[in-house]
Structure 1
Amino acid sequence: MDKRWPRQVYGEGTEPDARFSLANERTMLAWIRTGLALVAAGVVVDAVDLPVPDSARRWLAAALVLLGALAAAGGWFRWARTERAMRTSRPLPAPTLAAVVVSGLLGAALVVLIVILTR
């Protein structure tokens, strides 16, 4: 019985090639870095006095922080799903997390663009 955590990942299938597991881990860490950058951007938007209406600034900051949390948490869940798929010789999951982050960033960029053009 494998005692590694999380058991729902390591408790099934067979051990994949270590190179694939390490690549999967690096991808998860990249999503965590992306999440951290988005949270930092949200903090900066809220902390710096920008020439943007307060309500738009706060909504944008909150959206960036939420998007950062989603990126980090989604990176973890994607790591687990991918690791489980490799261990059970199933197809890898689709990259749905990227679409969520891209959509969120496009929305944030649109808000900034609208504010800049209406000033």
Structure 2
Amino acid sequence: MTERRRPHWVYDAGEEPDPRFSLANERTFLAWVRTALAVIAGAVALHQLGLPTSTALRTTVVVGLMLFGGLMAGLAYLHWARVERAMRHRAPLPAFAAGMWLTVAIVLVSVLLALVLAVSGR
């Protein structure tokens, strides 16, 4: 008896695609997860370094970055699953609109942190 792969809603759909495409999709997923981990690590670093110096602002930034990192990982998983299903149905690949929003959020956070650091004199 062969064990069914999970999630069933992805693997039970359509036909098995070329393994190279599935592996490329997994590598893309892992790249987004690495980015999410880097965002979380940056939040921990800001907290440990005491930056920005205002405790309330620091807590807000750190919590925001932590939540953002978790959101990135979740969106990466959903995108992986949608792409895998599309490949199994030989359908067009879905757009990754979340990528634009994640990029905008990262740029916004970096600009805000740069301004905070400039104002605090560090």
Per the normalisation by structure 1, the TM-score is: 0.90
Q: 1:40: Cα distance to partner?
A: 0.8
CA contact (8 A) 2:25 2:84 kept: yes
The whole-number CA distance in structure 1 between the counterparts of 2:61 and 2:15 is 44
Tell me whether 1:33 sits opposite 2:34 in the alignment. yes
Tell me whether 1:22 sits opposite 2:23 in the alignment. yes
Q: 1:113: Cα distance to partner?
A: 2.5
The whole-number CA distance in structure 1 between the counterparts of 2:52 and 2:60 is 14
The 1:95/1:82 distance shift into structure 2, 3 A limit, reads: same
CA distances 1:40-88 after superposition (whole Å, capped 9, x unpaired) = 1111111212353222211111121111111111111100000000000
**Which residue does the alignment assign to 1:43?**
44
The 5-angstrom pairing of residues 1-119 of structure 1 reads 3-119=4-120
The whole-number CA distance in structure 2 between the counterparts of 1:36 and 1:51 is 21
Q: State how many pairs are aligned.
A: 119
The whole-number CA distance in structure 2 between the counterparts of 1:52 and 1:108 is 16
The whole-number CA distance in structure 1 between the counterparts of 2:19 and 2:53 is 49
CA contact (8 A) 1:14 1:87 kept: yes
Per the normalisation by structure 2, the TM-score is: 0.88
Letter in 2 for 1:91: P
In structure 2, stretches of 5+ residues that fail to align are none
Q: Which runs of 4+ in 1 moved over 6 A?
A: none
- Percent of aligned pairs with the same amino acid: 39
Coordinate RMSD, CA, aligned: 1.7
CA contact (8 A) 1:52 1:115 kept: no
The alignment partner of 1:91 has SS state of coil
